[in-house]
């Protein structure tokens, strides 16, 4: 009997080499440290921290979340501690934890995006900056910039010039042509695109006649959106040459493998973290087990190998 070969799960997103293709999604993983009671967060491909703005942000009034069939709506409103506290208090602890980490950023204006990116450029271990051009829950969440190719291109170009860090651009699904949006990010200098962010949705209470979210609308996430996300990731993979990071409704290793199969360079896991704090590491282990069973030795041998016709 020969020992099974441990597959090489390392994933390359542009110049960033990840030990495996599984990352936590921004907004579903706090600042990463909240998960250290559950497991060693350095086991993840990367931790994407909660969206950071120039100044601390209070977020939206409650109610902020509503459960929906196989999903949830959220309208948190990007409550966060601001970039300074992240740089001074959180980043050193992520360094100590040995984590690979990426900062998701947003601004009310392009100048604020630039300022946050510049400040984060001073964090040596920060692997990349993920530009949130797609939060549906605040007017300033970037969707104004990210919902059309021209706006996204302008924002990406300016932030690209403000930082030497790898720049990933997180795209909105609330557009008619995801390929055109992804191409706009690529042409403006993005090193990768991440998709999809949440889909705008709504819930109302028939008795009180009021919206269930204080913000009226919110972002839908969870398994309910996976087919839409998978289709959009597949389309984006065909539209651009830069790496595509797949996200949307991934609950287990099987879901993650589907995104890798359509061409995603890596994946992010979001809402599943709420249901199972160990979701991300269980997905890493599940991908490894699948590769062992299927005798796949490298992630690159599997990624993008979807068979569209015989």
Partner 1 sequence: MPQGSPRFVHGKILHNSGSGIFYRMEVAIPERIDFVPGQFAMVSGWPGNDPLLPRPLAIFRSGGVRGKGTVEFVYKVVGRGTALLSGLHAGDPLALTLPLGHGFEFPGEDRSWWLVGGGVGFSSVFPAAVALEGQRADFEIFLGARTRDQLPPGEWIPGGAVPGRVHLCTDDGTAGFFGTVAAALRDRIDRRKSTGPSRVAILACGPREMLKAVTELALPLDIRVQVSLESSMACGFGVCWGCVTAIRDGEKSGYRRVCREGPVFDAREVIW
| Number of other residues whose CB lies within 10 A of the CB of residue 300 | 14
**Inter-residue contact 134 to 105 (CB < 8 Å):** no
User: Can you tell me whether residue 176 is helix, strand or coil?
Assistant: coil
Please report how close the Cβ of residue 251 comes to partner 1 at its closest, in angstroms: 7
In the bound state with partner 1, the residue whose beta carbon lies nearer, of 93 and 275, is 275
3-state DSSP assignment of residue 238: helix
- Smallest distance, Å, CB 24 to partner 1? 9
Q: Quick check: 59 binds partner 1 (CB under 8 A)?
A: yes
State the nearest-atom distance from the C-beta of 213 to partner 1, in Å. 10
Q: In the annotation, is 237 catalytic? A: no
- Among 13, 22, 35, 268, the residue binding partner 1 under the rule CB under 8 A is 35
- Of 47, 57, 234, the closest CA to residue 135 belongs to 57
User: What are the C-alpha distances in Å from 226 to residues 52, 58, 219?
Assistant: 26, 30, 14
| Binds partner 1 (CB under 8 A): choice among 10, 19, 65, 148 | 65
Of the residues 9, 10, 19, 30, which one makes contact with partner 1 according to CB under 8 A: 30
With binding defined as CB under 8 A, does residue 82 bind partner 1?
no
**Could you tell me which residues come within 8 angstroms of residue 302 by beta carbon, excluding any fewer than 6 positions away?**
257, 260, 261, 291, 296
Q: Does 37 bind partner 1 (CB under 8 A)?
A: yes
| 66 contributes a contact to partner 1 by CB under 8 A | yes
How many Å apart are CA 131 and CA 133, to the nearest integer?
A: 6
The interface with partner 1 within residues 205-234 (CB under 8 A) comprises: 222-224
Exactly one of 2, 58, 150, 293 binds partner 1 (CB under 8 A); that residue is: 58
Report 162-201 residues binding partner 1 (CB under 8 A).
none
Q: By CB under 8 A, is residue 79 in contact with partner 1? A: yes
The greatest distance separating any two alpha carbons of the chain, rounded to the nearest whole angstrom, comes to: 67
Question: Contact region for partner 1 (CB under 8 A) — 3-11, 21-29, 122-130, 164-172?
Answer: 21-29
Cα 133 versus chain centre, distance = 12
Coil/strand/helix, residue 67: strand
Q: What angle do CA 278, 47, 234 make, to 5 degrees?
A: 90
Among 8, 121, 276, 300, binds partner 1 (CB under 8 A): 276
The residue range among 86-94, 120-128, 200-208, 266-274 that interacts with partner 1, by the rule CB under 8 A, is 266-274
Catalytic residue among 135, 162, 182, 230: 135
Q: Exactly one of 8, 42, 157, 274 binds partner 1 (CB under 8 A); which one?
A: 274
Nearer to partner 1 (CB atom), residue 34 or residue 111: 34
Question: In terms of DSSP H, where are the helices of the chain?
Answer: 83-85, 91-96, 110-120, 143-146, 149-162, 178-187, 226-239, 253-261, 272-275, 279-294
* Binding of partner 1 by 38 (CB under 8 A): yes
Q: How far apart are CA 21 and CA 301, in angstroms?
A: 13
Task: Give the HSE-up count for residue 124: Cα atoms under 13 Å, Cβ half-sphere.
Answer: 2
Q: Which residues are identified as catalytic?
A: 135
- Which residues are near partner 1 by CB under 8 A? 27-30, 34-35, 37-38, 50, 58-59, 61-67, 69-72, 74, 76, 79, 222-224, 251, 271, 273-278
């Amino acid at each position: 009997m020969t020992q099974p070969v441990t597959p090489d799960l390392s994933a390359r997103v542009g110049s960033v080499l990840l030990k495996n293709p599984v990352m936590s999604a921004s907004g579903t993983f706090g600042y990463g440290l909240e998960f250290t009671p559950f497991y060693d967060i350095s086991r993840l491909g990367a931790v994407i921290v909660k969206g950071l703005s120039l100044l601390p942000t209070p977020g939206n009034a409650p109610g902020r979340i509503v459960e929906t069939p196989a999903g949830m709506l959220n309208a948190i409103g990007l409550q966060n501690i601001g970039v300074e506290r992240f740089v001074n208090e959180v980043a050193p602890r992520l360094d100590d934890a040995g984590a690979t980490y990426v900062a998701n950023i947003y601004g009310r204006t392009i100048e604020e995006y630039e300022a946050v990116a510049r400040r984060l450029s001073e964090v040596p271990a920060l692997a990349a900056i993920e530009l949130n051009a797609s939060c549906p829950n605040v007017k300033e969440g970037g969707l104004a910039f990210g919902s059309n190719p021209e706006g996204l291109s302008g924002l990406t170009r300016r932030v690209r010039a403000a930082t030497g860090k790898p720049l990933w651009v997180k795209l909105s699904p609330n557009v008619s042509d995801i390929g055109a949006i992804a191409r706009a990010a690529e042409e403006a200098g993005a090193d990768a695109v991440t998709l999809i962010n949440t889909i705008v949705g709504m819930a109302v209470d028939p008795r009180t006649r009021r919206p269930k979210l204080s913000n009226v609308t919110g972002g839908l996430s969870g398994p309910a959106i996976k087919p839409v996300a998978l289709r959009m990731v597949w389309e984006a993979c065909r539209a651009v040459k830069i790496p595509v990071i797949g996200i949307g409704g991934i609950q287990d290793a099987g879901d993650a493998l589907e995104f890798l199969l359509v061409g995603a360079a890596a994946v992010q896991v979001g809402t599943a973290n709420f249901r199972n704090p160990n979701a991300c590491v269980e997905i890493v282990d599940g991908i490894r087990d699948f590769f062992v069973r299927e005798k796949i030795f490298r992630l690159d041998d599997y990624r993008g190998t979807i068979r569209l016709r015989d």
